[in-house]
Structure 1
């Protein structure tokens, strides 16, 4: 007998994930205003972005080490982290204007986002065990919109204070946490994890298919967040060199947000083609775009924007499928820990990637920056192909 999942569950998880992850890029969206008002250094973008990533990495490591998502009710973990992350996010309004306080608030916000994004995936896996690729397509699509949303808030509220963005994203995250508890709860496929055992972190990587899925994800992550973080820089550079007036916040939102469509579309395709093929295809497209990116700046404005939209579509479309592959290949009693540690390592890799481009931005022409991201897709493609071949041999 197939268990019927209530229709409210998936839309609520999607909303909660969107709402919670809106905290992620809230600092980036208001950075230009803060640089002027708080007199922040010119290289603040890379540092502020990295501080959130570092907090997220530490948070996911703690969650994985303590197996929190497997040992406790995931929906309550999600709510607690949404409340605490929102409080830290909005705290910048009340703190003195200080670069140290900004970095500290973003760092600790990142720690609690670790209880939102991976835990949301764990909750989805507890409800949609049989069609996880499709469900996670919606879920990562929500992450994309949540990450892009602060840029839209910053654009629509450009005549208002930067505080508008922080208040709006914090209220949204709280509503998401409450929705997860009251309208979703725990899924029927949830398996309570065994007692605390740090060895689980290393045991999951002994599974060959799991390792291939994880390494594919790592290559994808080298590119993704650095691409998102430097989109405003690329758009400003194009404006300056072509005397155009593309609004950086608006177009960053649009280019990021279009990825939500690819996540959902990839989820549907994965039902027939398999997650490995879908992930490989998206990663291949974004890798090719990395290689030819210096040529984009010779294009007319409409074609330039179109190419970036294609890139924004491809760069995230594989994410949900890598998450699905991770869940499918991990030991069943350690799914929450496996997701969390893979996400932790993946985000750890975003730090050197972001910092590398932050440094390169000071020594090379901006048009060459995104070209350097190709190493990530190349690494990911090598390992994802192993899963594609394995699935082809089973067919």
Structure 2
């Protein structure tokens, strides 16, 4: 009965599960100030913990892509297992946070579990709602964005409570996500891969010119995205200090800026119906790239103006992501969609690691000028989009 109820609105179930499941991603970042006070966490060590999540995600996506697990195992089953395991590991972080090595390992394994949530969420969306994939994936990636921002909201709501509370709440939400997807199951619109699918099948998708262009555009987008999200609390703190505001506002404002990516993704998905995913991706990437270039030049501008620009940046920096995913899912070989998307995500998130390392290590010395290091990502993305053969794209 529950399965029948959930299948009436599968997209809503998937995006809510994505929201809850991806709350694990930045759960530690949201409590960074309190964690720094409790166990002596520095800005560079926060960067290490963030990179560990990314590295775990990359490792996990490579494993499921190269092994063929992404197309051998039901996406809903893989999502559910990953959600429960991620919740347990995220909660265990509380017990070992004082030991940087163990804490880093815990964040790595959390990222490993996230590899079974985000790419499988994309596959579930395509399996349930193949038509207007750009619009559907807009909701999915929007919920990934809101899930990334959600720990900041949880921290804002529990600011007077111990720092452990947001992590426990994020773990509880991940368990709910696993239960929802387990009950929903897989959709009927993707072919079942052959049990004999060979490892590395997803890599062969790069032979396709348009898939390759979509993927490299996505890689450029990834270079900018997670580094910007990691820097958001620093950028917000800078402007709130200039305003003389209460530090308790930082998690709320950080949540708002990152969370604006949800309406950005959704509106981008709607626009893709008449402008095509290609044009939406190009437009969003151009806006965020322009902000990479000009924001550091405005460092002495009024704080409210810079916060408004951060809001625009938060809206556009992720709006191109679902459109890249739609382009990639439409141009990958149908029998290997899961593996192709997983390998694309693996490489894309590998790109985020040096970007995060570079920007967090240079923030103390370069402040706003560190944002110029993000600019090569949008430039690469725009150049590779220009190389796509648009005549082969139909209603994408």
TM-score bin (small chain): over 0.9
Which residue of 2 is the match for residue 191 of structure 1? 191
Where does 1:86-165 land on structure 2 (aligned, <5 Å)? 86-95=87-96, 97-165=98-166
CA–CA separation in structure 1 for the residues paired with 2:107 and 2:343 = 21
Q: Does 1:278 align with 2:312?
A: no
Alignment gaps of 5+ in structure 2 = 1-5
CA–CA separation in structure 1 for the residues paired with 2:250 and 2:157 = 12
Deviation for aligned residue 1:390: 4.2
CA–CA separation in structure 2 for the residues paired with 1:315 and 1:72 = 32
Q: Does 1:258 align with 2:260?
A: yes
Alignment gaps of 5+ in structure 1 = none
Which residue of 2 is the match for residue 338 of structure 1? 340
Deviation for aligned residue 1:241: 4.7
Would the aligned equivalents of 2:30 and 2:151 in 1 still touch at CA under 8 Å? yes
Which residue of 1 is the match for residue 61 of structure 2? 60
CA-based RMSD of the aligned residues comes to 1.9
Deviation for aligned residue 1:257: 0.4
CA–CA separation in structure 1 for the residues paired with 2:215 and 2:200 = 18
CA–CA separation in structure 2 for the residues paired with 1:239 and 1:96 = 28
Which residue of 2 is the match for residue 49 of structure 1? 50
Would the aligned equivalents of 2:51 and 2:356 in 1 still touch at CA under 8 Å? yes
Distance 1:244 1:164, change over 3 A: closer
CA–CA separation in structure 2 for the residues paired with 1:153 and 1:335 = 35
User: How many pairs were matched up?
Assistant: 389
CA–CA separation in structure 2 for the residues paired with 1:336 and 1:90 = 29
CA–CA separation in structure 2 for the residues paired with 1:388 and 1:18 = 34
Q: Which residue of 336, 350, 353 maps to 2:352? A: 350
Would the aligned equivalents of 1:192 and 1:333 in 2 still touch at CA under 8 Å? yes
Which residue of 1 is the match for residue 3 of structure 2? none
Distance 1:83 1:6, change over 3 A: closer
Distance 1:22 1:214, change over 3 A: same
Deviation for aligned residue 1:306: 1.1
Which residue of 2 is the match for residue 297 of structure 1? 299
Q: Does 1:15 align with 2:26?
A: no
Distance 1:206 1:392, change over 3 A: closer
Distance 1:188 1:356, change over 3 A: same
CA–CA separation in structure 2 for the residues paired with 1:226 and 1:296 = 20
Deviation for aligned residue 1:355: 0.8
Would the aligned equivalents of 2:276 and 2:395 in 1 still touch at CA under 8 Å? no
Task: Give CA-to-partner distance per residue, 1:290-345, whole Å, 9 cap, x none.
Answer: 00011332222322211110010010000000000110000000000000000000
Deviation for aligned residue 1:46: 1.2
Distance 1:199 1:6, change over 3 A: closer
Deviation for aligned residue 1:196: 3.9
Q: Does 1:372 align with 2:373?
A: yes
Deviation for aligned residue 1:273: 1.4
